[in-house]
Amino acid sequence: MIRIVQVLSVAAAVSAAVFVFQVKYRAEAVAERTAELERQLDSERETLSLLKAEWSYLIQPNRIQELVQRHGEQLGLKPLDPKQLVRIADLPFRPAGPKTEDKDALASLLEGATMTDKEALSALFDKPKDSLQ
């Protein structure tokens, strides 16, 4: 009876040790992955910082003015005319959509997918089939 308890105790101790080692290695793997992600994040932040600095250099008005003066003739650039600027209220309204008859014809075309091309065109444009040849 004592031998069974000793064997069970040894088996429990071995299984507990194996479990602890597995947990330890998993924790180390998670820590390594976290460190790798932090390194990538630092790299991305550094790249973003460099790109922001480069962008602020590229959009400096003095630099842009110099480029316009140097390449304006090749690109055909002209000064902006104040008449080109308008308010949103001054823009014309969007044109009206198709007439209701056209909508009905289109709806019937979609419903009747078995129509021939001539029938579809005649239904759309209200022309007889024979005149569409």
74-133: pLDDT as tens digits: 888 888 888 888 888 888 887 766 555 566 666 665 665 555 655 665 666 655 444 444
pTM here?
0.45
Dist CA 108 CA 102 (whole Å): 10
How far from 64 is each of 23, 60, 73, 78, 91, CA to CA, in Å? 59, 6, 15, 14, 30
Dist CA 125 CA 101 (whole Å): 10
Q: Which of 95, 133, 126, 132 is nearest to 109 (CA)?
A: 126
Per-residue pLDDT reduced to its tens digit, 28-78: 999 999 999 999 999 999 999 999 999 999 999 999 999 988 988 888 888
